[in-house]
């Protein structure tokens, strides 16, 4: 074993001990311990290959939506192909007003339910609207989370100006 390996083992044991103590007492680890751990974890991750990107569930970068009760996360933007992929988190009782689709809309319900065109669509259900179509009001009684693929100008007007 090299000195570096011994240092690595000692470091890992120190981190494990600090986290165990924190969990035991309900205290948080010191900021320097957290920083060293996060630095160490990022060193072990493989580099992301060119042409790939990842959005992890623990990333709390939700954006407010113009409609109250909705927050959104931009998962991917492809202006060249004319679409944006969004995750919408919709609170119970939210109503989305009638609107026009400049581009096609693809909507997959991940959890909860949504009423569109007078039909209740549940988790696992899919809804498509052609470009140029008009949508009546959408609503959710229980709340829902949906994956939405739409034209960027339909959802991100500020980014397309």
| 157 has pLDDT over 70 | no
| CATH 2.60.120.10 residue spans of the chain | 63-160
| 75 has pLDDT over 90 | yes
Tens-place pLDDT, residues 93-122: 999 999 888 899 999 999 999 999 999 999
Mention every residue, 6+ apart, whose C-beta is less than 8 A from residue 52. Answer: none
Mention every residue, 6+ apart, whose C-beta is less than 8 A from residue 75. Answer: 55, 85, 86, 87, 147
- CATH class of domain segment(s) 63-160: mainly beta
- Please check whether residue 151 is in contact with residue 102, taking contact to mean a CB–CB distance below 8 angstroms: yes
| Whole-number pLDDT of residue 161 | 40
For 32, 72, 92, 131, the CA distances from 37, given in Å and listed in that order, are 9, 30, 38, 48
| 86 has pLDDT over 80 | yes
| Whole-number pLDDT of residue 82 | 86
- Please check whether residue 110 is in contact with residue 86, taking contact to mean a CB–CB distance below 8 angstroms: no
């Amino acid at each position: 074993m090299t000195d570096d390996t011994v240092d690595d083992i000692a470091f890992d044991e120190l981190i494990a001990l600090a986290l165990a103590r924190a969990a035991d007492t309900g205290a948080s680890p010191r900021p320097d311990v957290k920083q060293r751990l996060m630095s160490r974890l990022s060193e072990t991750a493989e580099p992301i290959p060119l042409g790939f990107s990842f959005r992890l569930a623990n990333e709390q970068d939700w954006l407010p939506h113009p409609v109250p009760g909705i927050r959104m996360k931009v998962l991917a933007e492809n202006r060249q192909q004319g679409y944006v992929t969004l995750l919408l988190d919709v609170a119970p009782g939210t109503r989305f007003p009638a609107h026009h689709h400049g581009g096609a809309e693809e909507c997959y319900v991940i959890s909860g339910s949504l009423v569109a065109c007078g039909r209740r669509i549940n988790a696992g259900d899919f809804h498509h609207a052609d470009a140029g179509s008009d949508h009546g009001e959408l609503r959710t009684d229980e709340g829902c989370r949906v994956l939405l693929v739409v034209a960027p100008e339909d959802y991100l007007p500020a980014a397309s100006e």
